[in-house]
Amino acid sequence: MEYESLRQIASSLAVFVVAVGVALLARRLLLSVLHRWAAKTDTTIDDILLSVVRGPSIFWAIALGLYLGIGTSVLPPRIIQVSFSVLHALVILSFTFVAANVASHALRFAAERAELPFASTGLTQVVIKGFVITLGVLILLGTLGVSIAPLLTALGVGGLAVALALQDTLSNLFAGIHILMEKSIRVGDVIRLESGEEGAIADIGWRTTRIRLPPNNLVIIPNNKLAQARILNYSLPDKTMALLIPISVSYSADLDQVQRLLIEEATAAIGHTPGLLAQPAPIVRFIPGFGQSSLDVTLIVHVREFADQVLVQHELRLRILKRFRADGVDIPFPSHTVYVHKEPTPSLHD
């Protein structure tokens, strides 16, 4: 009897080992063929699919071996049935998470290749993964024979208490969805907050929005606060923007000459300064006008995007300074005239 039991156990183990070995070998050959095929295509979606499936496919091979090994064993039927149910549940969950990752990557790929009505952000990734996982869990419950209707009723009753406990989190979640759908702020947009910080939107998550500042630091703002704040978006309606450069000259300067020199230098810089646009053409305006010790004018040029303004200002200011010095245009410095009134010395008779 003991010999027969050992033989059955050894037989089941052999079936498990052989099945896993064959499945892993077939997995390796199939992945190798698919990898060579994906290398010949221009799209990256097949590479994404292979990277997502590579890890879970090992578990699937082991699950197949367990399924065959348990099925050929002499275990009691009840234990075999429970084991098969557990394996089915694990496989369904595995396929669910793989499908969620594939859907998430596919959404990002589609967002990069085509203009979608919503942006691919951390929030959209969470929403699409949550939807697929919820669908997988419902399928799993149906497979296990669990009635979904009472569960949904219980969730509906308990949902009110959960919503009250998570008011702040849900407020941020719906504010993030509102921001994405309205598209007044998008990932990559450069904005200015009410507090004065300027930076690019790095990501819009399910609870917070991350803004990358020029020093490469992050400002993290709750979505509901961001949705209620006044924000200056430098990227809307278009990334191109006017750049105003104030310039001061002495009262003795010829404004016609100053205007001509500024236009010449700004025009000459086009094509040599990255980000400086030829259209609209550079212009000069006598604004703000008469200063305390100078004539103040403004050179107006256009740059490709917000990040280009620093380099454009640097290059134009250097050109203007060299040209003013070469043509004898004075750049005044602030000065004040102080009048000293000497009080008369009182006489001895007073």
Q: Per residue of the chain (350 residues), give pLDDT as tens.
A: 466 666 677 777 787 788 888 888 888 888 888 777 777 776 666 676 777 777 788 888 888 888 887 777 777 778 777 777 788 788 888 888 888 887 777 777 666 665 554 555 666 777 777 778 877 777 777 776 666 666 666 566 555 555 555 667 778 888 888 887 778 888 888 998 888 888 999 888 878 889 999 888 898 998 888 888 888 998 888 888 899 999 999 888 889 999 999 999 999 999 888 989 999 999 999 988 888 888 899 999 999 988 888 899 999 999 999 999 998 888 887 766 677 777 666 655 55
Closest CA to 323 of 243, 253, 241, 252: 253
Phi/psi of residue 332, nearest 5 degrees: -75, 160
DSSP string across 320-344: HHHHHHHHT------------PPPP
In this predicted structure, what is the pLDDT of residue 245? 92
What whole-number distance in Å separates Cα of residue 229 and Cα of residue 223?
10
Check: CB of residue 233 under 8 Å from CB of residue 185: yes
Question: How distant, in Å, are the alpha carbons of 102, 195, 250, 254 from that of 333?
Answer: 64, 32, 9, 18
Question: How distant, in Å, are the alpha carbons of 155, 282, 338 from that of 226?
Answer: 31, 36, 51
What whole-number distance in Å separates Cα of residue 117 and Cα of residue 135?
23
pTM for the model: 0.56
What whole-number distance in Å separates Cα of residue 257 and Cα of residue 248?
13
In this predicted structure, what is the pLDDT of residue 208? 87
